[in-house]
Amino acid sequence: MKRKPSTEATAAWIRLMRVQSRVLDAVEQDLKKAGFPPLAWYDALLELSRAPSGEMRPVELEKQMLIPQYSTSRLIDRLVDEGLAARRECKIDKRGQFVEITEAGRELQKKMWTAYSAAIEKHIGSKLSDADAAKLSGLLDRLGCSCGEAQMQAARDGAPAR
Amino acid sequence: MKRKPSTEATAAWIRLMRVQSRVLDAVEQDLKKAGFPPLAWYDALLELSRAPSGEMRPVELEKQMLIPQYSTSRLIDRLVDEGLAARRECKIDKRGQFVEITEAGRELQKKMWTAYSAAIEKHIGSKLSDADAAKLSGLLDRLGCSCGEAQMQAARDGAPAR
DNA sequence: GAGGAATAAATGCATTTGCATGCAACAAGT
DNA sequence: ACTTGTTGCATGCAAATGCATTTATTCCTC
């Protein structure tokens, strides 16, 4: 008798959920213990630092990070409050704005990458050969309909999450 | 030059985060659109329905679901509020209690499984052959330090998530 | 069996999310 | 230019979460 989702598919689903939640928790905890803000901040800072002249529109950030609009808005609030980014007026579209990363923001991003990369190594790298990691990536890609294009470039100096 | 986390490991990390978030969102949305409560409720109901005589200790539930203690406590509150479960006194340990699933709870769990399994099939099953799904499971297992024992049994009539 | 550590569960409080809505500025059609 | 619709962002409010603490009970160890 054939079941609708095969046992294999269901098992994969369960693991995808459980393993990512465990690994994410572990990494977030490592960062927190090292005294850093949550991963989402890192992601935002990384995106900003990569943007030409260190600034981008909130809408762009939103698309890159795959988070809801209001969430982006408030994330930016917090970054600005902490002096990690600044809002700039957008001359070509007065509804909008630019968000520019500050020096402090760039520094934090770099510092975080130390702890962050160590965590990735600890929780992923050390448990999987490069070949297996690549296999895993390949399989995941088939589910996610791509993680965008820039992923290999991403891995160059900082990995965006979520 | 060798980097600390290899590009492969980093790429796997990124995908693990992004893909699970996308897939989870998609599944949650499907459930919500079908008028059902969040996945966490399903997981709890499933655990309860599987327990002998349909009841278990909150602590157990907590361990199964891998969520914090206070979170379990409040999840149970909600289930009880909706008449899906009931708190029972625990005679052998008066600090504790038992949570018992109600008939309504069992029914909801079954109904949800229809929508839930369809979503799994849609977002996982249809995108991966059984063999590939099994490979994916295997690779994920190496990261997560196990998803408990009961996973194949889990797949029999309802998949717990997270 | 008395005192202290450990465990089960709940809860107050601050922060964060989700949802819907608001409010501008732009774009298009007439 | 004037309605109508759309886009970019902010925000009020309710619900959910995280954290630390509280309360009650049980488990040790002496």
**Grouped pLDDT means (10 residues each) for chain A, 162 residues:** 83 94 92 92 96 94 95 97 95 95 96 94 95 96 65 53 61
Does residue B39 reach within 7 angstroms of strand C, measured from its CB?
no
- Residues of chain A numbered 2-21 and touching chain B (CB < 8 Å): 3-21
Q: What is the mean pLDDT of chain B?
A: 89
What are the pLDDT digits (tens) for B27-78?
999 998 899 999 999 999 999 999 999 999 999 999 999 999 999 999 999 9
Residue A145: predicted pLDDT: 61
Q: CB–CB of B18 and A125 under 8 A?
A: no
CA–CA distances in Å: residue B108 to residues A19, A41, B10, B35: 27, 39, 40, 11
Residue A162: predicted pLDDT: 57
Q: Does B157 contact A at CB distance below 8 Å?
A: no
Pairwise pLDDT comparison (B156 vs B129), residue with the higher score: B129
Q: From B125, B118, B124, B117, select the one nearest B154 (Cα to Cα).
A: B117
Nearest to A17 among B12, B142, B162 (CB): B162
Q: Does A145 contact B at CB distance below 8 Å?
A: yes
pTM, entire model: 0.89
Task: Calculate mean pLDDT across residues B101-130.
Answer: 95
Pairwise CA distance, residues B10 & A48, whole Å: 20
Residue B149: predicted pLDDT: 41
Pairwise CA distance, residues A92 & B34, whole Å: 43
Task: Calculate mean pLDDT across residues B115-129.
Answer: 95
Q: What are phi and psi of A89, to 5 degrees?
A: -70, 150
DSSP state of A53: G
Residue A44: predicted pLDDT: 97
| Residues forming a β-bridge with B89 | B97
Nucleotide nearest to B91 (CA to C1'): D25
Q: Does A117 contact B at CB distance below 8 Å?
A: yes
pLDDT band per the 50, 70, 90 thresholds, residue B146: low
- Give the strand order in the sheet containing A55-56: A55-56, A97-101, A85-89
**Residues B141 and B147 sit within 8 Å (Cβ to Cβ):** yes
Does residue B70 reach within 7 angstroms of strand C, measured from its CB?
yes
